[in-house]
Structure formats: structure tokens, C-alpha cells
Chains A and B, each alone.
Chain A
Amino acid sequence: MKKLQNTTSNTISKIAAPAVAVALILLLWHWLSTSGVMPEFMMPSPGKVLKAFREDFPILCRHGATTLQEAFLGLFIGIGLSFVIATLMDACRPLMNGIYPLLIVSQTIPSIAIAPLLLLWFGYGMFPKVVLIVLTTFFPITIGLIEGFASVDRDGLNLMRAMGAGPVKRYLYIKLPSALGYFFSGLKISVTYSVVGAVISEWLGGTEGLGVYMTRVRKSFSYDRMFAVIFFIAAVSLLLMLLVTIIKWLIMPWERKNHKHA
């Protein structure tokens, strides 16, 4: 009974604590923008932002569709590339030793720094944007997969070998499924990177997309609308993370069934 009470109060605090935190931040924000500490046009109050969000919602959705299109295209190419590279690196030691340091170093380059170069090389269309997204989403997934492949139980592989399984079957039955959890951890990060990457590349040029719209409202000093775009991007990213969690839940049923003794 005591345990039950504990879990109930835990659940309440899990919901109540962040709600209180958010409420406090909103109050502070509201006070800052209405008390005159900050000029109101620079820091519009939460109410004004909400109003802008409601008014702009159809426009946000239209631009969001473009951004998501780029993000998904880049993400899917990134996922495909990750599987190919991680599998090759896992199968071939010299390749691993050669590429792994490069992968790490490549992540120290901020994407905002290479975006202008990509635009310079590939123009203002969708292509450079997708390239940037591929570059940013590729890394977390590849690292996840490499770790996942390496985490495989050697005895399990030996057992498969003893049962006569060749490299392809060992990959399909052991390596790939063992790496799935790691893949989803990487994907959860990459999916938000893909949206951020798309927005960053849109800042620098283009005709459609949340980044383009954001630049536009910033230049017209409509900061309430700019805040609305930021919240819209955050909401989209959160929804995508939720989507990844749901997909993982669906295709890894053993995750929720294992460790629960029947």
C-alpha cells in the first residue's frame, strides 16, 4: 500500500513540477514585457505571442510543410547512408580506424558555418538544404549503429557460427536487431537535428520554409510572430520525437515485454 502511494505521489510530482516551472517562467516573461523592464516590441508578452501563433497558424503550417519535406528527405538519406557506412565500418577494421576519427572531427564543425558554403556551391534550391540535413543527421545514427554492432554478444555470434550461419545471416539475425535500440537513440536526436538543420539552411536563402518566414518576420520587427515560429518549431520537433518513440514501441515489442515476469 505504501508503495502504491509512493508511485501515485511520484506521478503527481512528475506532472506538477514541470507545470509549476513553466508557469513561473511564463509569469516572469509576462512581468518583464509588461512592466517596462524590456521594451514590449522586443519582448512581446506570452499573450501576444499566443495571439500571433493563432493568427499565423495557417501560414506556419504551409511553411512547416516545406521545412518538414526537406527535413524528412535529408533524414531518410541520412539514415540510409548511416546503415551503409556503419555496416561497412563494422565489417572492415581498417575502414573503422580510418573513418571513425574523421566522423568525430566532422562534428566539431558547426553546421551554421558550412551552410553558406553549401548555398554557394549548390544554389538556393532544396539540394544544399538536404545536404546539410544529411550531414547533421548522419552522425548520431551512425555512431549509435556502430556502438550497437559492437555491443553484440560474442558468444551469441559464435553460437550462430556453430549452427552454420554465414555472415549475412549473422548480420540479419544478430547484429541488426541488437543495434536497433541504439539506432532509435540516435534517431531521436537526429530527428530534431533535421528540423534545426532545415531551418538554419533556410535562413540563408530560399523562398519557402519556416527559416525563410522567420527571417521575414524578424526583418519586419514582428517579434511576436518570430516567437510564434520558434514555438512552432519546438512543437514540431517534440511531435517528431514522440513519433520516433511510438515507432520504436511498435517495432520493438520485446522492449516492453522483456523483464516483466509472467
Chain B
Amino acid sequence: MTLLRTEQISVSFGQQKILENISIRLQQGEIVSLLGVSGAGKTTLFNVVSGLLIPDSGKVYLKDRDVTGKAGQVSYMLQKDLLLPYKTVIDNVSMPLRIRGMKKREARARVQPYFQEFGLEGTEKKYPGQLSGGMKQRAALLRTYLFSDEVALLDEPFSALDTITKSAMHKWYLDIMEQIKLSTLLITHDIDEALLLSDRIYILGLPKGASPGDGGQITQEIRLDNKSERSPEFLLTDQFLTYKRRIIEAIGGIS
């Protein structure tokens, strides 16, 4: 079932086109990456999908319902964890429920069981500043999930972490996704990350022969088959290298 789709999204800021005719879709339970160089318009597309930005043309549909320009429909997580430093981890995580008007005590009770599932047990009463980078991103993902268990938009969620933490987080992320089956649209500029985590990859970039004023387009869609065997070891296989070569070519890295 198609959960989320965009139809012919175009955005420009003044004369500068940012996005041109972006049509993507996300199936139930899928993890789809948007891969592209910096400045390709990935985050702009997320702002449109999350309803923060109204596109010049085009529509966003969530389960066939037009949600263009409507905030609060899909959950959103950024590179920065954006945990509020003045709230404990449990109050940060329960923020989406509080925004919907739930009482503090009830919200805490509701989110408590997830702490173990997300590997966050014992951090409930701590403040975000007391957590490591990886734990903060776990908490941020839990908050995202508690806002909506339907669709999550993750904007480079692991890119601020060091390599070793990042690798551990990838493993954790694959495990947790097995359990919660959160349909996810993931922005990344890390090819390895995209290949490791996703079922499909959209390459967002400028088409060949484009001029500087043109906006980003979807130049290629790559489907990855063996999702079930995905683990960090996948990064060492020949198949991985074949995919990686294809993506680098698509981005225009090998001439």
C-alpha cells in the first residue's frame, strides 16, 4: 500500500529553482533514502512533505489524503537531536503527546514502556546533556516514533555522530526497525548508510546538462533486494560494491 506520495513538487526561492517535479512514493513498512549532494534540495523536500513549506506546485498525499501545507501529519527528525535541554529525557520523549493535550503524568506512563525497547532504560530522569550523542539520537527517534508510528522523515539523523557510534547506531536502527516497522523517508549524503538501511534509494540531483539555475530532480531510483540479510557485514560484500558504483555513477562522481 502506498502510504505517502508526492506529485510533481516544484519549489523555487525567487529566481532560483530548488526542486523540479519531484514525485516519490513510500510504501507501508518501507525505508526509502533520498541521496544527494549538499544543496540538492533534500531538506526543502522534507519541509514540503512535513507541511512546513507550501510548494509552488504539486501535492503531498498521506494515504490518498491531500496534506499539502498541513503540519503535524508526519513526524520529523533532524541531524540535531533538538532535545530540549531543560526537560528530562522522558519529558522530551513525551513531548508529542503533551502537544496533543495529554496530561504530563499520563504521557510519562504511556512512553515509559518504550524506553527498554529503544535501549534507553535508566535515562528517563536524566537531562539530555547527560547523554552521549548516540543515546540522544535514540531518544530523538523515540520522540519521532511517538509522534507518529505511520511515517517518519529522518533528515541525516546519524551524520553528527562519530564513525564508531554511527556504525553502532546503524545496527541498532536496523534492529529497532525490525520491531517497530516504521515507514521511513531518510535523507542522507552517505552512500554506505543509504545502502545499508534502505529498501529503495532515490537519487536527488541535477540532471546531466543542467544549468546553475535549475532545481534538483529525481535522477534515478534504485531498488535493493536482500533487505532481510542486511547487517553491517553487507558493507563488505561484492554486491554492495556493485550498488555503490551504480550510485556514484548516478551522482556523477565517476566520469
Contacts and interface: CB of A to CB of B under 8 A. Distances in A.
Interface of A: 153, 155-156, 158-165, 169, 173-174, 177-178, 180, 252-254, 257-262
Contacts of A174: 84
A253 B87 CA distance: 9
Contacts of B72: 161-164
A178 B86 CA distance: 8
A180 B85 CA distance: 12
A257 B84 contact: no
B76 A260 contact: no
B129 interface: yes
A93 to B, nearest CB: 20
B52 interface: yes
A219 B96 CA distance: 66
B84 A177 contact: yes
9 contacts: A156-B82, A162-B52, A162-B71, A162-B72, A162-B76, A163-B72, A163-B76, A169-B99, A258-B129
A261 B50 contact: no
B82 A180 contact: no
Interface residues of B, number: 29
Contact of B82 (A153, A161, A169, A257): A153
B82 A261 contact: no
Contact of B78 (A159, A169, A173, A177): A159
B42 to A, nearest CB: 15
A162 B51 contact: yes
A173 B84 contact: yes
Chain A interface SS verdict (over half)? helix
B84 to A, nearest CB: 7
A177 B84 CA distance: 9
B96 A155 contact: no
B52 A163 contact: no
Interface in B73-116: 74-76, 78, 80, 82, 84-87, 95-96, 98-100
B99 A164 contact: yes
A169 B72 CA distance: 13
A174 B78 CA distance: 17
B152 to A, nearest CB: 11
A262 B124 CA distance: 13
A99 B130 CA distance: 40
Contact of A155 (B74, B78, B95, B130): B78
A149 to B, nearest CB: 15
B132 A164 contact: no
Contacts of A155: 78, 80, 82
A163 B100 CA distance: 9
A161 B129 contact: no
Contact of A258 (B50, B71, B85, B98): B85
Interface string B112-149: 00000000000000111111100000000000000100
Nearest to B47: A158
Contacts of A163: 72, 75-76, 95-96, 99, 147
Given A156-B82, A159-B78, A254-B85, 12 more contacts: A153-B80, A155-B78, A161-B71, A163-B99, A164-B72, A173-B99, A177-B86, A178-B86, A253-B127, A257-B127, A257-B129, A258-B129
B130 A261 contact: yes
B130 A260 contact: yes
Contacts of B131: 262
A159 B128 contact: no
The 9 residue pairs across chains A and B that have the minimum distance between CB atoms: A258-B129, A164-B72, A162-B76, A254-B127, A177-B86, A162-B50, A165-B99, A262-B130, A254-B86
A254 B86 CA distance: 5
Contacts of B71: 161-162, 164
A156 B84 CA distance: 8
A155 B99 CA distance: 17
